[in-house]
Structures are given as C-alpha cells and as structure tokens.
Chains A and B, each alone.
Chain A
Amino acid sequence: MTRVLLIAAAFGLLALSPLAAWLFDDPFLVTLFTRVVILALAAVALDLVLGYGGLVSLGHAAFLGIGAYTAGILASHAFDGSAFMTWPFEIGGSAQALVTWPLAMLTGGLLAAVLAPICLRTAGVHFIMITLAFAQMLYYFFISLPRYGGEDGLVLFARAEFPGLDLGDDVTFFYLCLILLGGYFLLARRLVAARLGMVLRGAKQNPGRMAALGFPLRRYQLAVYAISGAGTALAGALQAELDLFVSPTLLSWHQSGELVVIVLLGGMGTLIGPVFGAAALVLLEEVLGRFTEHWMFVLGPILVLVALFSRRGLLGWLEARLSR
C-alpha cells in the first residue's frame, strides 16, 4: 500500500515540477527535471536486470549511447539530406520522433539480445567485467567515427518532430518524456509480477533449482535484458533530444556507474526507487554544485550512509518512515 502511495507521489511531484520553474521564474528547472525523468527511465530499465534479475550490468551506458547515436545519426542525415547507407538499399535520415525513437529502442534491444548470450555465460564479477568490456568497446567504436563527430560528439540542430506536438517547447518535451517513463514503468511493474518476472526473480534467488525445475534460464534472462536495453536506449534518444547533442561520454563507464548508483541509492528491486534515486542524484548534484565543484565529496558519504542504513535505499527508508 505504501508502495502504491509512493509511486503516486513520485509521478505526481514530477507532473507538478514545471510549476516550480514558473514559481521561481527559472526555465532551466524544466530542463533539470527532464534530466531527472530521462535518467529515471534508464535506471528503471537497469533495475529490471539488476534488482530483479541479480545481474549486475556495468555496461548499461552502451544502451544509453546506442539509443542516443541512433536518434542523433538519423537526425543529422535528415538535416543535411544525406543517406545513412546506400547499399544494398538506400536508407535516409529521419527527423520524425515516431521513427527515430522506436528505432533507438530496437537497436538497443537488438544490441542487448546479441550481447546477452555471451554475457550470460558468466556470472557474478565476470558478468560485471564482460558488460563493462562491451560498453568500452562501443565507446571506442563511436569516438573513432569522425563522420559522426568522433570524440567531439554529434551536434543536432533541432528536436525531432512529433505529430501534433512542438517538442521544441521544453515543457511539452518534459511531459512527453514523463509519459514515456510512466509507460515503461507500468510495463516493468507488470512484467515483474507476470510469469516472466517470476522466472527472473527465481533465477536470482536460486538458479540451480530453476534448472532442476525445468527452466532454460538464459532465454528468459535474454528477453528481459533486451527489454531493459530497449528502455535504456529510449532514454538515450531522449537525452540526445534534450541536449541537442550526442556526447560519447554517454557511453563511458562513468555513465554506467552512475546508473548503478542511482538504482542503489533509490532502492534496487523496487522500480520506483530508481525514480527517487534519479531525482536525488540530479538535485544533489545541482544544489551542491552551486557551492562547490567538488560536490562528489559530499555525495560519497551520503551514498555510504544509504548503503549502511537502508537495504532498499531511499525507498526503503521512506517506506519504513511512512509505515510507522
């Protein structure tokens, strides 16, 4: 019950957050909250594999990056009218969100489905290392593509077009991102309670028993990994639209680490926890960053405290307080 209340509170507060920009007369706040929503989307997707599947993926930046580059590359070709590829058939760019965003999800999902059979052969620390390694490979792949900006990144000239909406308007874009987060969150929440989710959670608790019961585990883990990769890639595409810039740092291992930190800080295995985690991290960075550029110095101890005193992060702490 408390959980449902906190979900309503999280989405309610986010829905009202543009009011803060209006109250403080600071339009930048809308951009800030859009960042919260986008990071939350990526973190919810990561929580599926990390919190429910027990698979510590330290390579989710790969999906964030592939999503951003998919949307960014298509947009840049649309802008200069060139073709993305001409053989065996011609594929041009696109500035339509309804084309580029689903394609971003598709590439993210496909990338996950290709990597998963290799990664899932390992477990524990080796899984962490192999996901990290693949993300690093992708990072170096993209910074070696001068056509798409190389190390400097790829600049976009306008947000994608969306039928009936002007995404150039920051508030409109914010609400569209929030709706997408809501949709993905709902899907994820249904998934973890459905049959696929039961297999995922069972495999985390006792993989040997799952095999003895008759589950070919890897194919189910692969499916969830792909769903997670697709969600993270969508977040990447949205991040590219928000910044009008695709930075290769989206693919860096710092970014993967930040996503894991958000999930742990918010409360892993809760889905809504990562939404709180994303808000906490972005706002902390913003507030502390105004006083010192060494804001990480303060964030570190906070993370240690959360890790020490709450098994389920901020959400666990909130739930404990509310149910008292």
Chain B
Amino acid sequence: MTAALLSVRGLCKSFGAVVASEAVTLDLTAGECLALIGPNGAGKSTLLAQLAGALAPDAGQVLFEDRDISRLPAHARALAGLGRTFQTSSIFPEFTVLQNVMLSVQAQSRRSFGLWRPAGGDVRLTAPARAALEAVGLDQRAGLPAAELAHGEQRQLELAMTLAAEPRVLLLDEPMAGMAGADSQRMIEVLRGLKGRVALLLVEHDMDAVFALADRIAVMSLGRVIAEGPPAAVRDDPAVREAYLGESEDQTGEGEATDAAS
C-alpha cells in the first residue's frame, strides 16, 4: 500500500454531551476515492470541517503529506492543496460565475495586494478560471451573476471553484444533494474524471454515486468509523446493514442532531 496523502489519527470532537467524532482514524491515498457514508448525524460533516480547518478537534491529528496540519487555519490548508466543497452551495452571489472562479485562482496565486490593475482583465486569473468552468460544463454561463444560477449549476460552480485551486485532496460534502437526475449524472462524470489525479473524500447519501465512484467506503455511525473496505465488502457487512444500508431511507435520520458545522 502506498503512503497516505491525507491521514487522520484518532480525531475526537464533542459538542457538550454529543460525541461527533470518536477516535476517527482514516487514510486517503493519492488519487483514490474514499466515500464516507452513514446516517444523518453520524459526524461526517463535522469530520470534514475538522479536516478543512473550520473546526478544531479536541484531540487527534490530521497529517497531510506526513506533515501535521492539525493546527493550521483553514486558509493555510486550502493553500497547501486541501480543497473543499460545502454541503449547501457556498458561492459569491453578487459576483459573476467567472469572478467566483477567478477568486479561487487568485487565492492560489497568493498575490492579492493589487491596488491598481483591474482583476477582471488579468489573463492569469481569467484563463485558468475559464478552463475550470469548461471542466464542469459551465463555460456558457460565465458572465451571469452567480445568484441567477439554478441549484444544480451552483453545485457545479462550487466544484469549479475548488478545481481551479488545483487541490491534491478534495473534500466533497454531498456534491449531489438536491440535484436532479441529469445534473447528478454529469457531476458523477466530472468527479470520475478527477479520479487518479485528485484524492477524493466523498461524503454522499446518493448510493448510486457512491458505488459509481468509490474505490473504498468508510461507514460512520455515532461519530465512529464502524466499517471500512472495498464497496462489495462494505455492502455485505452486517454492522453496516444494521446501521445504515439495510434500513429503509426514512429511518436513517432518527434520533440525532443534524450534522454540525456544515
């Protein structure tokens, strides 16, 4: 097995009496897609938030390329190559679609003290931004204010912003949420195209997407990883069937707070 690109070691986080992460240990190797599934409230989004640096863990470590990044703030992790999409579309509604992505390119360039030259005419920003829009199929919408995009398109824009940063690890928080059939099929295709180049940690409820993309699946329940392995093995794991897969959809969310910090 190759060395892990992103390595989570014994991560713990609780909110009062609610344990959101209990000694979570996971490895993500370069280029693979690890799907993280589990009922609502299992602690998936909280885990992603801790990996991205939006939430501080109570204990444990996050290693990125063998470097401990547990204490790095969110922006430093993003610059190091850890990209993130949000559960609910997180975009800049007043900017155009292109400007949204340009901002991501600008962040990676680490040159943001420009006072005089208009950012809009800077090909060092526009060219990579247009390429990222093309990759997700939004290039026709580049000039539109982002607020006017349909829901599915906003998710595509989110992904374009994250891709423009050329991350090596991508944390995806329910990229298919609220998407209609054709849109989610397109999203699956885009993500499939990334596999091999970018390591994906995919939190997703859409099982078709999970089984279409995942090389490995980790199952979380009540803050713990209860199973981990190839899709076929996880599908047949009795503990998983009980906690999640075997139950009907409407029972999966019972008795838990919604995922914190999304």
The answer to whether A and B assemble together is yes
Check A199 against B112 for contact (C-beta < 8 Å): yes
Check A214 against B78 for contact (C-beta < 8 Å): yes
CB neighbours (8 Å) of B103 from chain A are 198-199, 202, 210, 213
CB neighbours (8 Å) of A194 from chain B are 114-119
Residue of B nearest to A193 (CB): B118
List which B90-106 residues lie within 8 A (CB) of chain A.
Answer: 90-95, 99, 102-104, 106
Docked CA distance A209–B76 (Å): 13
| A-B residue pair count with CB separations less than 8 angstroms | 98
Check A202 against B92 for contact (C-beta < 8 Å): yes
Check A195 against B95 for contact (C-beta < 8 Å): no
Docked CA distance A49–B102 (Å): 22
Q: How far is the CB of A3 from chain B (nearest CB, A)?
A: 15
Judged by a CB distance under 8 angstroms, whether A282 is at the interface is no
Q: How far is the CB of A48 from chain B (nearest CB, A)?
A: 11
Q: How far is the CB of B147 from chain A (nearest CB, A)?
A: 10
CB neighbours (8 Å) of B106 from chain A are 195, 198-199
Check A213 against B165 for contact (C-beta < 8 Å): yes
Judged by a CB distance under 8 angstroms, whether A215 is at the interface is yes
Interface mask (B30-41 → A, CB under 8 Å = 1, otherwise 0): 000000000000
Majority SS of interface residues in chain A?
A: helix
Judged by a CB distance under 8 angstroms, whether B131 is at the interface is no
User: Which of A190, A195, A202, A217 has the most CB atoms of chain B within a 10 A radius of its CB?
Assistant: A195
Check A212 against B117 for contact (C-beta < 8 Å): no
Out of A190, A211, A213, which one reaches B116, CB within 8 Å?
A190
Docked CA distance A198–B101 (Å): 12
Check B115 against A215 for contact (C-beta < 8 Å): no
Check B91 against A215 for contact (C-beta < 8 Å): no
CB neighbours (8 Å) of B165 from chain A are 213-214
Given contacts A193-B118, A195-B112, contact A209 B86 (CB under 8 A): yes
Residue of A nearest to B108 (CB): A214
Check B114 against A209 for contact (C-beta < 8 Å): no
Docked CA distance A187–B84 (Å): 35
CB neighbours (8 Å) of A215 from chain B are 75, 107, 112
Check B92 against A190 for contact (C-beta < 8 Å): no
Out of A190, A201, A212, which one reaches B74, CB within 8 Å?
A212
Out of B78, B113, B114, B118, which one reaches A213, CB within 8 Å?
B78
List which A150-174 residues lie within 8 A (CB) of chain B.
Answer: none
Judged by a CB distance under 8 angstroms, whether B202 is at the interface is no
Interface mask (A175-196 → B, CB under 8 Å = 1, otherwise 0): 0000000000001001101111
Residue of A nearest to B85 (CB): A212
CB neighbours (8 Å) of B119 from chain A are 193-195, 197-198
Residue of B nearest to A208 (CB): B90
Check A198 against B93 for contact (C-beta < 8 Å): no
Docked CA distance A216–B79 (Å): 10
Judged by a CB distance under 8 angstroms, whether B16 is at the interface is no
Judged by a CB distance under 8 angstroms, whether A220 is at the interface is yes
Given contacts A194-B119, A198-B99, A202-B95, contact A211 B114 (CB under 8 A): no
Judged by a CB distance under 8 angstroms, whether A223 is at the interface is yes
Q: How far is the CB of A195 from chain B (nearest CB, A)?
A: 4
Judged by a CB distance under 8 angstroms, whether B54 is at the interface is yes
CB neighbours (8 Å) of B95 from chain A are 201-202, 205
Judged by a CB distance under 8 angstroms, whether B120 is at the interface is yes
CB neighbours (8 Å) of A217 from chain B are 75
Docked CA distance A113–B95 (Å): 28
List which A56-95 residues lie within 8 A (CB) of chain B.
Answer: none
Q: How far is the CB of A207 from chain B (nearest CB, A)?
A: 10
Judged by a CB distance under 8 angstroms, whether A206 is at the interface is yes
Out of B75, B79, B86, B112, which one reaches A196, CB within 8 Å?
B112
Q: How far is the CB of A46 from chain B (nearest CB, A)?
A: 18
List 11 A-B residue pairs with CB atoms under 8 Å apart, sorted by A's residue number. Answer: A191-B115, A194-B115, A198-B102, A202-B92, A205-B93, A205-B95, A210-B75, A210-B103, A212-B90, A216-B75, A220-B113
Closest 9 CB pairs of A and B: A214-B78, A195-B114, A214-B107, A214-B79, A213-B107, A211-B74, A209-B90, A193-B118, A194-B114
Task: Please list the residues of chain B having a beta carbon within 8 angstroms of any beta carbon in chain A.
Answer: 52-54, 73-76, 78-79, 84, 86, 90-95, 99, 102-104, 106-108, 111-120, 122, 161, 165
